[in-house]
Copies of this chain bind each other. A is one copy, B any other.
Amino acid sequence: MRTEGRAKRLPRAVRERQIMDAAVDVFSRLGFHSASMDEISEVAGISKPMLYAYLGSKEELFATCIRREATRMMEAIATGVEPDQEPDVQLWSGLRAFFGFVGENRASWQVLHRQASNQGGPFAVELMDMRARAVSLVAALLTQSTKAPATKLEAESLAAALVGAGESLADWWLDHPEEPAGVVAARLMNLVWMGFGDLVDGNVWHPPSRR
């Protein structure tokens, strides 16, 4: 498969998809700074000016990647959870959906979590936006459950901790891909719902029957 020579003529929308896919791939492997527009264009199978003509500058391209992947992920989670159920069931569905998405979109996850989180520029905005949505979603789940977190700040920080635990566990999972998504999700569910205290005593959380 020669990668050289003139590329086949394709409509703009299709090329843009190809370019975005290539960009996510390269950014996820190399990070924002180390990734070069030359490499992205090469992987996409086109030349650099096309890249600039269609997707703008490097920063714009990266921000677009983040937006696209973040949207895909939040949609995957949203479709997995039904808002009228018990809090623990909602949380469980959310975790399953989250780990399912990460398992099938490693590159997307790399871009979202590892790369975007520390390029302080305009990207943090996109990323923090998604993260904020996730956190407030969890925070709502907590406050909706009676008693528990008194202050708004407390609920928010707990949600942040939970989201962080999910992110970190997802990263760990990248290095241990032999484990199925459901197992990893169940583990986190037990940790945050039961707590070590109960786990030490042998009390575990079970999903409500098999449905």
Contact = CB atoms under 8 A, between A and B. Distances in A.
A114 B145 CA distance: 33
Contact of A199 (B31, B114, B148, B205): B148
Question: What class of interface size applies to chain A in its complex with B?
Answer: 35 or more
A196 B193 contact: yes
A153 to B, nearest CB: 7
A91 B33 CA distance: 38
Contact of A147 (B156, B160, B188, B200): B200
A179 interface: yes
A184 interface: yes
Contact of A200 (B148, B157, B163, B188): B148
A171 B176 contact: no
Interface in A143-166: 145-149, 153-154, 156-158, 160-166
A34 interface: yes
Interface string A83-110: 0000110010000000000000000000
B172 A157 contact: yes
A193 B203 CA distance: 13
A192 B33 CA distance: 36
A162 B164 contact: no
Interface in A185-211: 187-188, 191-202, 205
A51 interface: no
Interface string A5-42: 00000000000000000000000000101100000000
Given A31-B118, A195-B192, A198-B198, A168 B172 contact: no
Contacts of A33: 31, 33-34
A145 B192 contact: no
Contact of A148 (B87, B161, B179, B202): B202
Contact of A163 (B120, B168, B173, B197): B168
A136 interface: no
A126 interface: no
